Structure 1
C-alpha cells in the first residue's frame, strides 16, 4: 500500500514530530506578539489543556486505526504522540502554577485539596507521569512486556479523569458541546478496546474448542 510505505518513510517521524510542535509554536508566537486576546494567561491555560486532550485522543486512536485499516506501521508513532500528550499536560500545569499561583507550592497544594476539578486534573497528570517515564525500549526490557502493558493500561483511567476535569472547567461557562464531542470520541476509542479484547478472547476459546487436546491412549 502507498500509505503504508509513506508511514515507513524515514521522514515520517520527523514530520509527525514537527506537526505535533506546531500548536506550541503558535502559542509561543501569540504570546510574544501579544495576540492571545484580552486574557492571555487564561487563553494559554485553556489552549494547553485542549491540546493535551487532543493528543490523548490521537494516541488512543492509533491502535484502532492500525487494526481496522491494516496499517501496522502506525504503531511507530504511538509512543511519540503519547509523549506529546505529556508535554502539553506539563505546559498546562505550568501555566496554572505560574499564572494562577505564582509558583507558590503551598497555595498550589491548598488549591488542589480545595477545588475538585484541580484535584482531578492533577491526578490525571500524576497517572500520566509513569507512562511517560517508561516510554522507551529499556523500560520495556527492564519491566517485561506484560508488566509494561499492565502499567500503560492506566491510560484507561486517565481518559475519564481528563474528561471530568474538562467538564468542570467548561461548566463555569455552560459550554458543554465541546465536552460532549471529546467524551464521545474517548468513549468510542475505549469501547473499541473492550469489544476487540472480548472478540479476541472469544476467538481464542473457539480455537481451543475446535482443536481439543487429545487424551493419550491408555
Structure 2
C-alpha cells in the first residue's frame, strides 16, 4: 500500500513539475521556430509576465480547491507552484531588462511609469517569498513566516493592476484575471469572516454558561 502511495506521489510530483515547465518549453520552441511575431523581445516579456500571473492565481486557488474538493495532494505542491510563478516573473523582469540593456534607463522607468513601479514591487515581494520558502526558513522565521507569506494576496492585486496598466487596447484578459482574483479573495474573506463569527459565538456561549 505504501509503495503504491509513493508511486502516486512521485507521478503527481513529476506531472506538476512538467506542467509548470511546459510554458517555458513552449517559449523555447517559439524562439527556435521564429514564431514570436515582428517584435520577439516584447512577445517574450509579455509571455513570461502572463504565465507568472496565471501560475500565481493557480497558487492562490490551492487552498479553496483543497477545502472545497478535498484536493489535499495539490496542497503538497503549493511551494513548487509558487516557485514557478516566481521563475516566470524572473524571466519577465530579465527579458524586460534585456530589451533596454540600460540600468539607469530602467531605474528611471521604475520611477516614472506606475505600471513598472507596481510590477517591480510585486516582483520584490515574490522574491522575498521565494527566498523564505525552504523549510529551514519556515522554522527560522516562525510566526513571521506566515505574516510574510500573506503578502501573496497583495502580490496578486499588484500583478493584476500591472497587467491592466500595461494593456493598451483589448482589456478582456486583464478583466478575466481580475475576476478570478476577486473570486479567490472573496472566498478567503468569506472564510475569514465565518471563522471570526464562529469564534465570537463560542466566546458568547462560554460566557453564558
TM-score, normalised to structure 2's length?
0.92
Partner-residue secondary structure (3-state), 1:10: helix
Alpha carbons 1:86, 1:128 under 8 Å: kept = yes
How many angstroms apart in 2 are the aligned matches of 1:6 and 1:46? 38
5+ residue gaps, structure 2: none
5+ residue gaps, structure 1: none
Q: How far off its partner does 1:127 sit?
A: 1.2
Give the equivalent residue in structure 2 for 1:25.
25
Alpha carbons 1:112, 1:122 under 8 Å: kept = yes
Give the equivalent residue in structure 2 for 1:149.
146
Which residue, out of 135, 138, 148, partners 2:133?
A: 135
Question: Higher Cα Rg: structure 1 or 2?
Answer: 1
Give the equivalent residue in structure 2 for 1:159.
156
How many angstroms apart in 1 are the aligned matches of 2:76 and 2:63? 11
CA-atom RMSD in angstroms: 1.8
Which residue, out of 182, 190, 193, partners 1:198?
A: 193
How many angstroms apart in 1 are the aligned matches of 2:129 and 2:208? 40
Partner-residue secondary structure (3-state), 1:36: coil
Alpha carbons 1:6, 1:12 under 8 Å: kept = no
Number of equivalences: 205
Structure 1 residues 118 and 65, CA, compared in 2 at 3 Å: closer, same or farther?
same
Which residue, out of 115, 118, 121, partners 2:116?
A: 118
Partner-residue secondary structure (3-state), 2:34: coil
Q: How far off its partner does 1:113 sit?
A: 1.1
Q: What CA deviation, in whole Å up to 9, does each residue of 1:152-204 have, x standing for no partner?
A: 0111211111111100111x2x2111111000000111111111111112122
TM-score, normalised to structure 1's length?
0.89
Partner-residue secondary structure (3-state), 2:60: helix
How many angstroms apart in 2 are the aligned matches of 1:211 and 1:69? 33
Taking the TM superposition and a 5 Å limit, the aligned residue runs for 1:44-123 are 44-99=44-99, 101-102=100-101, 104-123=102-121
How many angstroms apart in 2 are the aligned matches of 1:41 and 1:122? 19
